[in-house]
C-alpha cells in the first residue's frame, strides 16, 4: 500500500511529548451536566464501567491496517466547515474543553448521514499512529438518526497557530460570554485530506460504552506551543491509556 508523503513524515511532525475519547455518558450531555464525579485519568484502573473486547483508544499502524478496497467515493468523509450556534465550555467534571453545537451540522460518513453533537480536545492524544503520540487529539462526536455514534479524531502537532482553536480558547477567557451561542469556523481543525483509520471501539471514559465507530484521520494539523500550553494549564493530562486491539480489524481508507 502506498501512503501520502505527509503520512510517511508523521514522525517528523509529531512531538515526543510524554505527558500524555469520548468522555461522555451521552453524546449531548456529560459529567458536568449530570452531576457525575470528575473523571480522574490518574486512576483509570478504578473506573467503574461495562468492559468488553472492543475498547478505545488503540494503537494504529499503517503496516498492519487492511486496505479499504470498497468504492473510495462512497466511503469518503465530508463535513460541514462551520459549527453553528456553538457554545464553548470548560467542562471541569469531564476534564476537557468542549464545544457543543446546535442541530443542523451534518456530515456524510461512508455514505451515511450524521449530525455533529460536540467536539473536544485531549492532551496528549489518545490514539497513536505508528507508535507516535501527538500532543493533542481533537474528537468530533457525531450521531446518526438511529442513535449510532461516530467519532472523527484529528491529530494536532506543534507548529503554526490554529485560528479555530484560538477562537475556542478566546471564548473561555475571563469576561467572555461563553453561554452565548455563536458560529465557529472549524475548517482549520479538519484536514482537507480525510484519509482515515476505521475501527469499532468505545467511549473512553465510563461507562466505556462500545459499538462506537472510530475514524482517526492520518493527516495532522497544527497548534502553536502557546496554544498547547494554554490547553494543558486547564486540564493537564486527559487521555485514556491504550487498550488491547483483541484482533479487531482496522481499515485504512485513502482519500482520492
Q: Assign residue 39 a region: left if phi > 0, alpha if psi is -120 to 50, beta otherwise?
A: beta
At 45, is the pLDDT very low, low, confident or very high (cuts 50, 70, 90)? confident
Count other Cβ atoms within 10 Å, centred on residue 204.
27
> Which spans in the chain are helix H?
5-8, 10-13, 31-34, 163-170, 225-235
Cα-only R_g, the chain: 17
Return all residues near 167 (Cβ < 8 A) that are at least 6 apart.
Answer: 184, 185
Domain boundaries, the chain: 5-33+49-253
* Catalytic residue numbers, as ranges: 85
Sole residue written with cell 485519568: 41
Question: What per-residue confidence (pLDDT) applies to 49?
Answer: 56
Domain 5-33+49-253 homologous superfamily, CATH: Alpha carbonic anhydrase (3.10.200.10)
Angle, vertex CA 76, rays to CA 202 and CA 61, nearest 5: 55
Q: Could you give the CA distance from residue 136 to residue 164 in angstroms, rounded to a whole number?
A: 14
The mean pLDDT of 14-35, rounded to a whole number, is 37
Question: What per-residue confidence (pLDDT) applies to 51?
Answer: 65
Question: What per-residue confidence (pLDDT) applies to 22?
Answer: 39
Provide the 3-class DSSP secondary structure of residue 82: strand
| Whole-prediction pTM | 0.85
All three cell numbers of 16, joined, read 515526543
The mean pLDDT of 77-99, rounded to a whole number, is 89
Mean pLDDT across the chain: 84
> pLDDT digit string (tens) for 185-222?
999 999 999 999 999 999 887 788 899 999 999 999 99
The answer on pLDDT for 162 being more than 60 is yes
Specify which of 11-15, 39-43, 168-172, 189-193 reaches the highest per-range mean pLDDT.
Answer: 189-193
Amino acid at each position: 500500500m502506498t501512503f501520502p508523503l505527509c503520512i510517511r513524515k508523521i514522525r517528523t511532525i509529531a512531538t515526543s511529548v510524554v505527558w500524555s475519547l469520548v468522555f461522555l455518558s451521552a453524546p449531548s450531555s456529560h459529567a458536568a451536566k449530570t452531576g457525575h464525579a470528575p473523571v480522574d485519568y490518574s486512576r483509570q484502573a478504578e473506573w467503574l464501567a461495562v468492559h468488553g473486547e472492543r475498547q478505545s483508544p488503540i494503537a494504529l499502524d499503517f503496516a498492519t491496517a487492511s486496505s479499504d478496497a470498497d468504492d473510495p467515493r462512497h466511503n469518503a468523509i465530508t463535513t460541514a466547515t462551520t459549527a453553528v450556534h456553538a457554545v464553548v465550555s470548560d467542562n471541569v467534571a469531564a476534564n476537557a474543553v468542549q464545544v457543543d453545537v446546535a442541530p443542523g451540522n451534518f456530515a456524510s460518513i461512508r455514505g451515511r448521514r450524521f449530525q455533529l453533537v460536540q467536539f473536544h480536545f485531549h492532551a496528549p492524544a489518545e490514539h497513536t499512529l505508528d507508535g507516535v503520540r501527538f500532543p493533542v487529539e481533537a474528537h468530533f462526536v457525531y450521531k446518526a438518526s438511529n442513535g449510532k455514534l461516530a467519532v472523527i479524531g484529528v491529530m494536532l502537532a506543534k507548529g503554526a497557530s490554529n485560528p479555530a482553536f484560538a477562537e475556542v480558547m478566546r471564548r473561555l477567557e475571563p469576561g467572555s460570554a461563553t453561554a452565548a451561542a455563536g458560529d465557529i469556523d472549524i475548517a482549520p481543525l479538519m484536514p482537507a485530506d480525510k484519509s482515515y483509520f476505521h475501527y469499532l471501539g468505545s467511549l473512553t471514559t465510563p461507562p466505556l460504552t462500545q459499538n462506537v465507530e472510530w475514524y482517526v484521520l492520518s493527516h495532522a494539523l497544527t497548534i502553536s506551543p502557546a496554544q498547547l500550553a494554554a490547553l494543558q494549564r486547564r486540564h493537564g493530562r486527559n487521555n485514556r491509556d491504550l487498550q488491547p486491539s483483541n484482533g479487531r480489524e482496522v481499515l485504512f481508507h485513502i482519500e482520492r
